[in-house]
Structure 1
């Protein structure tokens, strides 16, 4: 027969010794408590610094706004300065008028009858012509016409006035005077000189 051993029943066995089981949680030391409080203080310090920075930043914005406002008034002041009435500047000096190459003057004069004049009526004008140009000009009684107050043009009558203008050539600065005579009695208004008959014309009023 096999030998049977007695089975262990629950609740039996060696008694549990004191101290067995899960260990109790360790108590915090005073140093740990101090470290925790220090961390909270650092966090609070950062929060305070952030609030101060936000306040300072807001003040800077207001200063910037004030600066911007001052800057915006500068263009307005410049514009107001531009629109201010300017002092009258002295007028620029006018350039002297350039002299015409040929200058002609004419004035009324009495008719001086020559031996070649017939018994008709004549009207004479005393003419002076001056060469202001660099080139020579030719003067001839036939180069002149007289226009009266009615607009009628009279050609020159040759050798009827004793003081008839000569046929000459004028160099620069030279001049010649003499009469130009038209047939009939009329009131002369203009005298026209044409250089060489086909050249440029110069008209002057009879004074």
Structure 2
């Protein structure tokens, strides 16, 4: 007696895929039949650059508007601080010039507390009169101090010279000797004090001298 056994899939036929079996309605895997998903689109480089340039231009426009506003405000403030054209009076009561304030004009009056500089005393030497030239020449003149001796020239009937006062000098003198004839006078003046002398005829000498006194004055 022959018995028939059911055939197993591996004995005589290949097993079918579940999708190939009749009535299979299971979900399909993405890789088996559906197209793969598209990758996300990258933003265009040109659009990014265009947006960046537009932003920079807009930033400069905003800065320009802000600077113009500041400049306009400063101009308005400067216009408001104008100098008054009305004349004002100065310290001495006289009207000031138009457009100039009394405070801006310097005062011509010296300050009361400003000390005056004392002028340094000087020594003045003089010779005058008639002194014709002789065989040895014209009138012979010497002047100065005990430490400073100088020669002078008699011209047009007179001679005059000035030296600064030296506090260390012991005396100041002037000497004029005639040359055969004539009539002359001579003097030395220190700080308002004058010493005089006279000579006439022959070879006489006119000699005037101011000496320092014990108390500091000039005798």
Provide TM-score, normalisation by structure 1.
0.27
1 or 2 for the larger relative contact order (CA 8 Å, sep ≥6)? Answer: 1
Looking at secondary structure, tell me which structure has more helix per residue.
Answer: 1
Provide TM-score, normalisation by structure 2.
0.26
